Structure 1
């Protein structure tokens, strides 16, 4: 019997691709020093360098400033703006709250494990308006450990007080989310993303968040 569903955040509940594009275009509009670069080109190169969020933004901005010879603003300035304002562009995947309401109605517990910086990720969860659904939210910076280390999954199971076989983990990254949670004994469900190859073992796949209902 499934007693808990543990979610990843970026690419699973948060439509990070859409959110990031909206933020970058808005940042370009707001910061005059960026106007020396074509907005569409700037956004496309930012997203390319970002590599699905696995390259932290200090390096992204440093690369952009050097590539386009941007003057009048520093990488640190742009990073600070990102940290402050990204949350205002957070966009959920369709049917997010409907899924969380469904899980809650089944008296199944809900938690989250996400890599990233503590205040930043917690701010993004708040921006989606879903914080109250979660029994707890584990952010790698605050935990001192990050996915795909199996220990962070075992730590979540310990906090829930359940067996690994009684928990589902849902995430978009084949290695950090699905394979790692399965190694910890959980059922690993892949939130499909065409960015990744789909030739790996998993316990299930969903394309829309509401697809999870049938797996529960």
Structure 2
């Protein structure tokens, strides 16, 4: 029986692609006088390309943008500080996020989140989504000193939940950091389908967050 569901954040609960596009678009608008040498469309599309789904940190992205577009009116630090301060205002959840978490909570399922990234930055984004109160445990790699796919961070979350891996499910979008890593500690792994990181080894595959409660119900029926 599944007693706990653990989640990734970016690409799983947070629609990072839409959020990033919204942020970069707003950043261009705020700093337009300093970026007017390039079009908004070009700035946004190039940022998204360089970002590599979040796996290239933004100082590197901004360094490349400044170099490519020969920007002289702004610095990497200025752009990075703006990102750190304002991204939280552009966080867009995937559909059915709150309804799904509410239903799992009502079923007395323990909830946890494990996300790689900078501590305060990720916590700001979680709070912007309005979901912090649903979770019994939230682990962010910077503050934990270990990140996915290292098994330690998964085992740490399970220990805090006081639930065994065999009675837990992890939901994520990344084939290695989420799916393989969760399976390596003995958890069921649910892949939220995306094109960036295909996973054919997941125990289950979903397209929408609303499928999670239904999946859990199916597991209960199968175990009877």
Deviation per residue, 1:156-211 (Å, 9 max, x gap):
1111111101110000001100110100111110011122234x211101100011
Report what 2:54 is aligned to.
Answer: 53
Whether the 8 Å contact between 2:117 and 2:140 is mirrored in structure 1 is yes
Whether the 8 Å contact between 1:16 and 1:90 is mirrored in structure 2 is yes
Q: Secondary structure at the match of 1:209?
A: coil
Q: Structure 1 length normalisation: TM-score?
A: 0.98
Matches within 5 A, 1:83-94: 83-94=84-95
Is the aligned partner of 1:119 residue 2:120?
yes
Q: Distance in 2 between matches of 1:197 and 1:208?
A: 16
Deviation per residue, 1:41-80 (Å, 9 max, x gap):
1100100000000000000000000001011100110000
Matches within 5 A, 1:91-170: 91-170=92-171
Whether the 8 Å contact between 1:29 and 1:35 is mirrored in structure 2 is no
- Superposed structure 1 runs of 4+ greater than 6 Å apart: none
Q: Structure 2 length normalisation: TM-score?
A: 0.95
Unmatched 5+ stretches in structure 1 = none
Alpha-carbon distance, 1:34 to partner: 1.4
Q: Distance in 2 between matches of 1:6 and 1:173?
A: 14
| Matched residues, number | 215
Report what 1:27 is aligned to.
Answer: 27
Q: Secondary structure at the match of 1:111?
A: strand
Report what 2:213 is aligned to.
Answer: 213
Matches within 5 A, 1:193-212: 193-198=194-199, 200-212=200-212
